[in-house]
Every structure is written in C-alpha cells, then in structure tokens.
Amino acid sequence: RKEVEQDPGPFNVPEGATVAFNCTYSNSASQSFFWYRQDCRKEPKLLMSVYSSGNEDGRFTAQLNRASQYISLLIRDSKLSDSATYLCVVWGATNKLIFGTGTLLAVQP
C-alpha cells in the first residue's frame, strides 16, 4: 500500500464549479500535511498547509480527518488558472515529505 494515495483524475470541471479532492495516508504517526500545486513541467509549489482541524485560504479549503487518515481540498468557484496537478503531501515519521502521485484538474471554459 502506498503511504499517500490520491485519485489521479483527471477531474474535468466547468469554470465556477466546486471541486473536491481526497487523499489518504497510511502512517497514523504523521504530523503535518500539505497540498502542493504543480503546473505542467514546473516545480511543485506549496498551496496550503493543513494542521489540526484544517484551514481556509480564499477559495481553497483544506480539511484533515485524523481518525480516518484522510485530507481533503475543496476549490470553490474554479478558475481556468486552477488547472494543474494537486499533490497531497505528508510529513512522514522519517522527517521526509511523502508525495502522492497527484490529482489532475482541468477547468474548462
């Protein structure tokens, strides 16, 4: 079983739609969680950190469910510029980032 699992998508949504991604992690000792965004042929960039009960940043909301070991990312009012791969990332017990394979989002005009 992979340490971090995500639905690879693609998620094809119209502009203005709300879309949600889920991610599960296997190590219950994991402490920190992140969503990174990666555009095609570019480097990953930190989108949001997810601590304790989650947080919101504008149109983006991240939630953490420790009991079920899953993290979610909600994007409201999708823009064309939101099209990218969203990587679920966990700070592992070995002090390393563990990446999911990413979920591809394509926002259609």
* Total residue length of the chain: 109
Give the tokens for residue 94.
């070995």
Nearest approach in angstroms of CB 39 to other proteins is: 11
In 3-state terms, what secondary structure has residue 14?
Answer: strand
Nearest approach in angstroms of CB 94 to other proteins is: 10
Dist CA 6 CA 33 (whole Å): 14
Q: Return the residue matching tokens 């394509």.
A: 106
Q: In the complex with other proteins, which residue's Cβ is closer, 14 or 28?
A: 28
93 binds other proteins (CB under 8 A): no
Q: Where do contacts with other proteins occur on this chain (CB under 8 A)?
A: 4, 8, 32, 34, 41-46, 49, 87, 91, 96-97, 99-102
